[in-house]
Structures are given as structure tokens and as C-alpha cells.
Amino acid sequence: MTPHRPLAIGLTPLETRRHVVLHVADRAEELGYSAVYVAEGWGHDVSVLLAEIAMRTERIRIGTGVLNVWGRSAASIAMLATSLSDLSGGRFVLGLGAGSPQLAEGLHGVAFRSPVHRVGSVTREVRNLLDGGRLTSTIPGGSSPLKLAVRPTSDVPIQLAALGTNAVRLCGELADAWYPFLLPLSGLADKIPVLKEGAARSRSERSIPKICPGVPAAISSDPDVARKLASWWITFYLTRMGPLYGNLLRDLGFAGAVGAVLAADKSLDAAGMPESAEVLIDELTVSGNAETARAGVDRWYAAGAEMPVVVLPPNRSVEELDHALEALRPI
């Protein structure tokens, strides 16, 4: 990889081992990564984990990658952001996203309706509160709207996870950074004009958000292990995480590959990726040994990424995770 380019590390909600999350954050800072993002799902409260990380690191940026907009009010999100920004010395990035119907309804008991609208309304309210404004979405005839008693001492960047056209346009309008996860490499360039459309309709003069795609990592010195891990990433997100990713890939011209994955044995424990779907490995992951994985990251920079976020696989040994971190370490 070309030296001195920002590169971040991400962890999914499936990584529920607290000691592993903290270890990865420590190693990421030691190795020179620019940021580490921890997602929240149905396990640990991400704000508590990030508070621990903030207290044991000094340089690396930390962030929610991502926090869903169903489990907290805009005010509680703004307070979380203020506290973590203060605790980290201004290193905190607030990543927000719509999550999934299962997360909204199955865990938080909130109907998953109009997710793009929900992301937009929460983002606007959080930004307003962080800027010192009073709550705007109040109950008619209720108590007077409040503002935060404590504001962050430095700006808190807001990063939005977005894949669909409307969501990407909203990101361009409201966010400081864009974090599309599992977007095909070849689809990145077509989304950038949509970001620009969103930025153009913003009332403030703003450049487009920083482009920070989340890319699953499948790195091993053993090519069979790497390919099996890449196959797991793709199969899991196409078969276990609802229709979003499959629909996106179909819209971008990968209908045949998606169909092949869905038709195959969902475990794919020994067979690996169906031959007709192997294009998805190159499109969606950075995989292989250290050399080929670094080349894969280079392709994301060439496609327009400003800070790729290499997302580590869950439930792997610390030794495997350390190998991946070492393989891609910024030079």
C-alpha cells in the first residue's frame, strides 16, 4: 500500500468479547491506524466499550460504527456523543445508521418504519443539540424544550451508514462522513454523484462527506482459510441479515451471483463460494494473504475511498486478528 493514507479498523456487533475489542483497539493504535469503530447490536453498550478505549488510548480516533437510531432518543445520543468526545479529548466520531428490522423490533420494540426518515430526523436533532440548540421535536402542550447542560468542547463529526440512493443523498446533505458497509467496489463511484446531490441541497456550504467504506477482511497466509472466511462474510450477510444487501447487489448487476449464494448450502462450510458467485469475493472483501489484501485496499483507494474501514471478522482467535492488523498496518 502507498504510505501515509488513512486506514481504519471496524468491529461488527457479532464481536461480543469485550477483551478482544479492547485488544484490537490497543493494537490498532500501536500500529498506526487512523481510527477504530465499534458497532452496537444486541450485546455490549457501545458507549461503555468506547469509554474504556478512550481511557487506554491517546491518539487513535474512536467511533460508533454504527449506532442504530431506534434504541436511544436523539437527546441520549447527543449526551453520549458529548461525553465520549470529552473523555477522548475530541477523538470521537458519531456513526449512525438504520440498523435492521430485527434490531429495531426484536430488541428495542420499535416498528421499523421509514428508516431513512428516521435517520434524518435523529441526525438533525442530534446536530441541533450538539450545537447548543433546544429540542425541536416536543410534545404539543407539554414541557418546555431543553438544551444540553454540557456541550462538547470540540466538533463531533457525524458519520452515516447508507447504501440506498435516498439514504446516500441524505448522507450527503447531513453528514461529515459516509460509511457504506458491504457496497461493491465497482459500485462506489456511482454513489459519489448522489453524495454531491445531497451536499448541494444542504443549506450550509459543505463539501461532500469523507468516503469511508466498510470492507470485510478475510486475511490468512493459508489461501483456503482466507477464501472460506470471505465466503462466510458474503453468505452470512446475504442469508441472515434480511433482504437489504441482496437487493442492493441485484440492483448493481450481481443478481446471478446473489442467486447462486442463496441457492447453495447456507453453511458453505466445506464447499466455499459457488463458482458463479466468486466475483463477490473481489467486489466485497479484502482477502487472501498480506500482499493480496494490501493490494485489495489499494483498489478501494483508487475507486475513491478516502479512509477505508477494514472490518475484522468476529469470533476469530486473537492471533488471527493480530495477523490481519499486522498485514494491513499503515506504513
**181-190 residue pLDDT tens:** 999 999 999 9
Residue in 64, 65, 52, 67 with CA at minimum distance from that of residue 22: 52
* Stated pTM of the model: 0.95
DSSP label at residue 145: P
* Stretches in the chain below the pLDDT threshold 70: 1-3, 203-206, 265-271
Residue 88 phi/psi, 5-degree rounding, is -95, 0
Residue in 190, 168, 169 with CA at minimum distance from that of residue 179: 168
Give the model's pLDDT for residue 242.
86
Structural domains of the chain ordered from first start? 8-221+289-328 (3.20.20.30), 222-284 (no CATH)
Q: Is 216 helix (H, G, I), strand (E, B) or coil?
A: strand
Give the model's pLDDT for residue 138.
75
Give the model's pLDDT for residue 205.
66
Neighbouring residues of 296: CB distance < 8 A, sequence distance ≥ 6: 215, 282, 285, 286, 287, 288
Give the model's pLDDT for residue 271.
53
Q: How many CA atoms lie within 13 A of 264 on its CB side?
A: 26
Q: Which ranges of 219-267 would DSSP assign to H, the alpha helix?
A: 223-239, 244-251, 255-263
